[in-house]
Amino acid sequence: MRKILVTGANGFVGTALYHALIGRGFAARRAVRRAEAVVTPGADVVVGEIGPTTDWRQALQDVDAVIHLAARAHVMRDAAVDPLADYRRVNVLGTRGLARAAADAGVRRMIFLSSIKVNGEKTASKPYSEQDPPRPQDAYGVSKWEAEQMLRAIAADSHMEAVVLRPPLLYGPGVKGNFLGLMRVIDRGLPLPLASIHNRRSLLYIGSLIDAIMLCLNNPMAAGKTYLLADSEGVSTPDLIRGIASALRKPARLLPFPPALLKFAGALAGKTESVSRLLGSLQIDASSIRRELNWQPCADMARGLAETARWYHQHAH
């Protein structure tokens, strides 16, 4: 194999993936947006902002596979005038430009990190699977679904193979966003009125995601496939808090509170989406990638949370 190009290499997933690739003997190249993000001159390539006019030619030189992680990330309460247009510029048109350039450059396979938000926001009677029709509910999910379709169309018209991965909420060393915020709340010993929630949510440890990406790089079975990913076990919101608290060696200060009142309070505070995530279920059936590629999560949730807590105490405390 020649080089592997990683976009979004400075992010949570990209940083861990790049080090894993190098550690396993792959020749990896990082596409970065700004010159100050260059870590290895000569190996890293500055591509600027990602969008429909990004020039990928230098980054794709001698590249055999592309792992496309870069995206306009999902944010709560997006303040953009037209959020969907902003997501489309990066996530759809940026992906289209990269896929076309990669196909023209003779890239053999492109792995696209999508999101379970393509399937929807919550599950009721059964977990999401690859057979369920996509029902994205927000601009980010719509953009990821449109990007998947764009990539597949380009792959179908070229010799490049496409692989799509849809993970749920990720955690692990280097985690950011809401998960890191929750860890800080628990670490400070603040009480959380979430003991009365009875839901089930799938999460994914970052090491398990990286193993899935590695499998998809060369396995012929992965060509043209979409795979949903998740840890072996789902977890309720209160049990997740207890698990994080145990990993941090802190007490879980959970208080009973009616979920209906939590919804009402969330609406008043303008945090309906955040509260819906805490209350609702989102379960994933990851049996397809287990069966077809023999993928298994590399850690159970307890170990994954322990690794995350170890990193937290060293770097984010």
Q: How far apart are CA 59 and CA 49, in angstroms?
A: 14
Q: Where are the alpha helices (DSSP H) in 28-176?
A: 83-87, 94-104, 139-156
Is the CB of residue 189 less than 8 Å from the CB of residue 215? no
State the Cα angle at 118 between 117 and 119, rounded to 5°. 85
Instruction: Give the span between the Cα atoms of 13 and 206, in whole angstroms.
Output: 7
Do residues 161 and 151 lie in contact, with contact meaning Cβ atoms separated by under 8 Å? no
- CA separation for the pair 204, 304 (Å, rounded): 9
Look at residue 255 and give its three-state secondary structure: coil
Strand partners of residue 4: 28, 65
Considering the candidates 18, 140, 171, 205, report the single residue annotated as catalytic.
Answer: 140
Q: Give the Cα separation of 152 and 64 in Å (integer).
A: 18
- Is 140 one of the catalytic residues? yes
Cβ(73)–Cβ(118) under 8 Å?
Answer: no
| CB atoms inside a 10 Å sphere around CB 266 | 17
Which amino acid is located at 56 in the chain?
W
Residue with tokens 């991965």: 165
**Residues designated catalytic:** 140
